Amino acid sequence: MSAFALSAANVRSMWRRFVGLTALIAIAVALCTTAFAISGNAERAAHDRVQEGAANRSITVDRLAERPGAKPLRDAALGELAALPHVISVQPRAQVSFGYKDAQVPGVLLYATTVRPAQPPPVTRSARDKLFPLQDGEIIVPATAQDTSLAPLLGRTITVQTTRAVANGQGTGAEARVRVVGLFDPGWQLDGPDAAYADDATVIRWAAAKAGVTPEQFTNSIGYDRISVVVDSAGNVPDVLARIQAAGYAGSTLQQELNELPGVLALIRTTGKVLLVVLGVIALVGALVVTGALARQRVREIGILKAVGFRSRTILTMLITEMAMVGAAGAVAGGILGAVGAAAAAAAFRSRTELAPYLPSRLPLPAADVLGALLLITLAVTVLGAWLPAHRAARLAPSDAIKEW
């Protein structure tokens, strides 16, 4: 009988002796699998949604009209910024006021704003499934404005009051028809309080009329009040920001305000490494203790095997193989238990609104390479822990081994 067949037979016949170590390894692997699954998915989601999200890859360029020598944000600026390395999108913002009142809305003053795809408003209700990009004459308004609910306007085509210049410094009222296709959370005030979002052509047309120029003259002479520059990767944002500022523009980034985010993600990764070390220590100590105890209990068996011709290397292989089988069984059982634990933990965390976006709807498992490395390291550490007591037992002389200890 080969050493491997003998090891399998021994594990089957003495399985009760291995239950403790198997359970210890399984629990350790299960805890690590659950932790890796939750933390790994959370880290990937945080990286994709936040660190590499459009907002964290955006640079905001503001027009400083009151500062002498400040560069205007005209069409020429759009072309200059778009030509910078790593820039994938340039999204201008323009705003112009308009008013509305009817029997249900006593009167509100809102600010029509161009939509920047990198920072869309959080829509709560809509008249159709896919709102963006907005069509000509469409608008999204806050659910409430100036203590007035605008919900009754959803889906309606309304007449709003705008301003048209008639002379230098003088304007008169004008009317425009728009269709309200969505409502958004009024707490979203990234573009100021009482902002409403309309298609670009509508906003530019109203702003140009208020300034007394054509839409082409408005974008070529007056220009926009803000530009969002979207970069291809969060890592390239500092370099692009430096280029924008060196060109004479006033730029800032959300990334500057979230400078602690990379540290948070690093903390998650470090936690995973600590868990892996803890697992290794548990498996190592468990294998060392159990193998040593089993070797002392099986001294006579080892002596008889050596007396009938088994070599020390064969006996060592047998003992190590036994522990490898136990470690593999514990690792597989732990992986299964860990998947169950990850599913239960994810279900519990998804009930919390602030955590739900960072957990997938599918079963949250660690990445295949992480799970494979976890199982292999568990097996390797178990074998390593068994090596010393197994080596000592295999080197016993037959005459000494047969004696009762």
Asked if residues 280 and 375 have their Cβ atoms less than 8 Å apart, the reply is no
pLDDT at 357: 63
The conformation of residue 134, written as its DSSP 8-state character, comes to P
* φ, ψ for residue 354, nearest 5 deg: -75, -15
Tokens of 118: 């990198």
Asked if residues 276 and 32 have their Cβ atoms less than 8 Å apart, the reply is yes
The 10s digit of each residue's pLDDT in 60-73 is 999 887 777 778 89
b/e for 353-380, b at 16 or more Cβ within 10 A?
Answer: eeeeebbeeeebbbeeebbeebbebbbe
CA atoms within 13 A on the CB side of 258: 20
Rounded Cα gap, residues 26 and 29, in angstroms:
5
The 10s digit of each residue's pLDDT in 167-190 is 887 889 999 999 999 999 999 998
- pLDDT > 70: percent of the chain: 82
Rounded Cα gap, residues 211 and 369, in angstroms:
60
Q: Confidence class of residue 215 from pLDDT cuts 50, 70 and 90? A: very high
Q: Confidence class of residue 347 from pLDDT cuts 50, 70 and 90? A: confident
Q: Which residue has the tokens 């308009």?
A: 98
Q: Does the pTM exceed 0.85?
A: no
Q: Between 353 and 156, whose confidence is greater?
A: 156
Asked if residues 272 and 374 have their Cβ atoms less than 8 Å apart, the reply is no
In the predicted model, is pLDDT for residue 76 greater than 90? yes
Largest CA distance in the chain: 117
Asked if residues 10 and 327 have their Cβ atoms less than 8 Å apart, the reply is no
Locate the domains of the chain by residue range. Answer: 3-51+261-402, 58-257
Residue 38 sits at the vertex; the CA angle it makes with 374 and 335, to the nearest 5 degrees, is: 35
pLDDT at 143: 96
The conformation of residue 119, written as its DSSP 8-state character, comes to S
Length of the chain in terms of residues written: 405
Helix (H) or strand (E) holding 167: strand 157-167
Helix (H) or strand (E) holding 60: strand 58-62
In the predicted model, is pLDDT for residue 389 greater than 90? no
pLDDT at 181: 97
Asked if residues 157 and 179 have their Cβ atoms less than 8 Å apart, the reply is yes
Tell me the DSSP string of 272-291: HHHHHHHHHHHHHHHHHHHH
* φ, ψ for residue 306, nearest 5 deg: -70, -35
Asked if residues 358 and 263 have their Cβ atoms less than 8 Å apart, the reply is no
Asked if residues 325 and 15 have their Cβ atoms less than 8 Å apart, the reply is no
Rounded Cα gap, residues 163 and 171, in angstroms:
6
Provide CB contacts within 8 A for 281, sequence distance 6+.
Answer: none
The edge-to-edge listing of strands for the beta sheet with 250-253 is 87-93, 226-231, 58-62, 250-253
Amino acid letter for position 35: A
The conformation of residue 216, written as its DSSP 8-state character, comes to H
Q: Give the number of other Cβ atoms within 10 Å of residue 326's Cβ.
A: 28
Amino acid letter for position 383: V
Query: 133 preceded by cis ω (within 30°)?
Result: yes
Amino acid letter for position 288: L
The predicted model gives 127-142 an average pLDDT of 93
The 10s digit of each residue's pLDDT in 231-288 is 998 889 999 999 999 999 999 887 655 555 555 556 656 766 676 677 667 766 766 6
pLDDT at 14: 75
Asked if residues 21 and 287 have their Cβ atoms less than 8 Å apart, the reply is yes
pLDDT at 159: 96
Asked if residues 374 and 337 have their Cβ atoms less than 8 Å apart, the reply is no
3-state percent helix, strand, coil for the chain, nearest multiple of 5: 55, 20, 25
The 10s digit of each residue's pLDDT in 306-318 is 777 888 888 888 8
pLDDT at 95: 95
**pLDDT, the chain, mean:** 83
In the predicted model, is pLDDT for residue 298 greater than 90? no
Asked if residues 331 and 375 have their Cβ atoms less than 8 Å apart, the reply is yes
